[in-house]
């Protein structure tokens, strides 16, 4: 680790838009953000039932979701969120509960939904900020794969007659608000209603996955539950897949590097594509991204603590990936993509990964990648520039702690 003393706060790094600053300032007149935007698990459940007209939460196979909800809400209420942060979080919680109600009602009316088979998904994972997002978007151009587009998986089951424009507007209001609250976020990670989203977004209504620990600076006593998270994940995919042509799912989240065994227990026939990048680039970028995610909702972001946590988690996770690669215990069908290769020769990098997972790389897919990149230049929302030292790290120390990972996958230092 580098020198954590004197690291600038998020307020010293960024300036909030005037409308965000003014809304947040309303807390003082109301007594606090807690008083202005109250959050109570029971009241949220009642509100979800009233707004949907659905009384019963069906069994989605993910166990004690209500207990996890109450733990998440308790954690939220001990986190120092702004007015805007609490409002965004309240909307997410209500949307999650409505989704659970609608999914349960759909299954009650059509049990065949729960019998859908999720076959041989292709999973993208790797350290955060190592090219997982752009690779995900490029693989989504494969006509044989179905990607989890935000409009579909945030609202997988809505009342019959809900039109596409309404679904899109609801999704856009949640996904694209992040960059309205913190304009710099768009240069770090683009969220749009029509783009594929990570699995942590899909499974937020399970109250068992990484979404809540990502957005809360202090998740308190809340603990993830991978088995329940994957059970809900499958329920969403089944709903979106039902009645559509058979395709393999394309999935993605960096968190899967910490949970291979859980992933393979849920989807034993999955193939995995790993991305790899210089840890002196991924670690500080992960801290800056997560700090920004939390800054969207809170003025109290502990950057030094976050830097230490990211280093601890990802160093252990990446060295484990290297060890399992070397002892042959990674998933049988595995491809690898180095970030530097993906940036220099994306088609060739993806071709090599497809060889690893035994998938045909079609001429149509190759052409679609070239066209997509031509119309989506890097930095169209501005550049995400950073150094290791700006986020509390020493680049040499980061690399020294991951020598096994770096040597195993031939990762090039980016300076």
Residue with tokens 């790797």: 126
* Lowest-pLDDT range of 5-9, 157-161, 164-168, 289-293: 5-9
Report the percent of the chain where pLDDT is more than 90: 83
Mean per-residue pLDDT over the chain, rounded: 92
**Separation of alpha carbons 278 and 340, rounded Å:** 9
**Separation of alpha carbons 384 and 408, rounded Å:** 28
* Lowest-pLDDT range of 127-131, 150-154, 347-351: 127-131
Give the pLDDT score at 66.
Answer: 96
The most distant pair of C-alpha atoms in the chain lies apart, rounded to whole Å, by: 61
**Residues whose CB is less than 8 angstroms from the CB of residue 261 and which lie 6 or more positions away in sequence, other chains included:** none
Give tens-digit pLDDT for 46-100. Answer: 999 999 999 999 999 999 999 999 999 999 998 899 999 999 999 999 999 999 9
Report the percent of the chain where pLDDT is more than 70: 95
Are 298 and 181 in contact by the 8 Å Cβ rule? The answer is no
Given a cut of 70, whether residue 377 has pLDDT beyond it is no
**Separation of alpha carbons 409 and 415, rounded Å:** 18
Give tens-digit pLDDT for 328-365. Answer: 998 889 999 999 999 999 999 999 999 999 999 999 99
Q: CA nearest 333: which of 276, 263, 403, 254? A: 263
On the 0-12 / 13-18 / 19+ scale of CB atoms within 10 A, 383 is: exposed
Strands 248-252 and 271-276, bridge-based pairing: unpaired
Given a cut of 70, whether residue 215 has pLDDT beyond it is yes
Given a cut of 80, whether residue 147 has pLDDT beyond it is yes
Mean local confidence (pLDDT), 258-278: 95
**Separation of alpha carbons 50 and 410, rounded Å:** 56
Give the pLDDT score at 385.
Answer: 65
* Lowest-pLDDT range of 224-228, 235-239, 292-296, 408-412: 224-228
SS3 130: coil
Annotated domain spans of the chain: 10-409
Residues facing 124 on adjacent strands: 252, 273
Nearest 5 degrees, angle CA 73-CA 78-CA 80?
Answer: 110
SS3 60: coil
Q: CA nearest 347: which of 327, 326, 372, 328? A: 372
**Separation of alpha carbons 130 and 318, rounded Å:** 12
Cα-based distances in Å from 241 to 103, 255, 349: 13, 24, 29
**Residues whose CB is less than 8 angstroms from the CB of residue 402 and which lie 6 or more positions away in sequence, other chains included:** 279, 315, 318, 319
* Lowest-pLDDT range of 88-102, 227-241, 383-397, 399-413: 383-397
Given a cut of 90, whether residue 128 has pLDDT beyond it is no
**Separation of alpha carbons 217 and 78, rounded Å:** 10
Residues facing 3 on adjacent strands: none
Q: What per-residue string of b and e applies to 35-45 under the rule 16 or more CB within 10 Å gives b? A: ebbebebeebb
Task: Give the CA count within 13 Å in the CB-facing half-sphere of 119.
Answer: 8
Reported confidence tier of residue 415, pLDDT bands at 50, 70, 90:
confident
Structure tokens at 260: 């291979």
Structure tokens at 32: 């606090």
Given a cut of 60, whether residue 129 has pLDDT beyond it is yes
Give tens-digit pLDDT for 105-117. Answer: 999 999 999 999 9
Structural fold of domain 10-409: Rossmann fold (3.40.50)
Mean local confidence (pLDDT), 146-172: 93
Give the pLDDT score at 379.
Answer: 54
Helix locations, 270-362, DSSP H: 279-295, 303-327, 339-344, 346-357
Give the pLDDT score at 355.
Answer: 97
Are 197 and 172 in contact by the 8 Å Cβ rule? The answer is no
Give the pLDDT score at 86.
Answer: 97
Reported confidence tier of residue 188, pLDDT bands at 50, 70, 90:
confident
Reported confidence tier of residue 311, pLDDT bands at 50, 70, 90:
very high
Mean local confidence (pLDDT), 298-309: 92
Give the pLDDT score at 185.
Answer: 92
Residue with tokens 């603990």: 223
Given a cut of 60, whether residue 381 has pLDDT beyond it is no
């Amino acid at each position: 680790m580098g020198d954590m003393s004197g690291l600038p706060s998020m307020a010293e790094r960024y300036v909030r838009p005037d409308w965000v600053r003014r809304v947040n300032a309303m807390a003082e007149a109301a007594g606090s953000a807690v008083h202005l935007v109250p959050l109570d698990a029971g009241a949220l459940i009642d509100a979800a039932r009233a707004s949907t007209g659905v009384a019963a939460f069906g069994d989605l196979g993910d166990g004690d979701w209500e207990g996890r909800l109450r733990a998440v809400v308790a954690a939220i209420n001990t986190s120092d969120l702004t007015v805007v942060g609490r409002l965004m979080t309240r909307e997410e919680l209500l949307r999650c509960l409505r989704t659970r109600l609608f999914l349960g009602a759909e299954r009650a009316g059509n049990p065949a939904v729960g019998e859908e088979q999720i076959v041989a998904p292709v999973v993208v994972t790797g350290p955060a900020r190592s090219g997982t997002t752009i690779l995900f978007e490029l693989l989504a151009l494969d006509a044989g794969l179905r990607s989890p587009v935000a409009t579909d998986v945030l609202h997988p089951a809505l009342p019959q007659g809900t039109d596409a424009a309404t679904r899109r507007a609801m999704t856009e209001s949640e996904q694209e608000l992040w960059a309205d609250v913190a304009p710099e976020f768009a240069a770090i990670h683009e969220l749009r209603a029509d783009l594929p989203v990570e699995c942590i977004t899909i499974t937020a209504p399970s109250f068992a996955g990484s979404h809540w620990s990502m957005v809360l600076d202090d998740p308190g006593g809340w603990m993830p539950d991978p088995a329940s998270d994957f059970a809900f994940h499958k329920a969403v995919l089944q709903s979106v897949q039902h009645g559509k042509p058979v395709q393999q799912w394309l999935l993605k989240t960096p968190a899967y590097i910490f949970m291979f065994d859980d992933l393979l227990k849920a989807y034993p026939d999955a193939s995995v594509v790993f991305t790899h990048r210089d840890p002196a680039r991924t670690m500080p970028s992960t801290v800056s991204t997560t700090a920004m995610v939390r800054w969207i909702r809170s003025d109290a972001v502990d950057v030094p603590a976050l830097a230490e946590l990211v280093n601890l988690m990802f160093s252990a996770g990446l060295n484990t990936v290297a060890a399992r690669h070397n002892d042959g215990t990674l998933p049988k069908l595995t491809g690898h993509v180095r970030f530097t290769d993906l940036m220099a020769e994306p088609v060739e990098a993806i071709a090599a990964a497809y060889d690893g997972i035994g998938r045909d790389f079609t001429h149509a897919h190759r052409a679609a990648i070239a066209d997509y990149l031509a119309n989506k230049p890097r930095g169209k929302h501005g550049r995400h520039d950073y150094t290791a030292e700006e986020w509390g790290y020493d680049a040499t120390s980061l690399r020294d702690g991951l020598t096994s990972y770096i040597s195993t996958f031939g990762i090039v230092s980016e300076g």
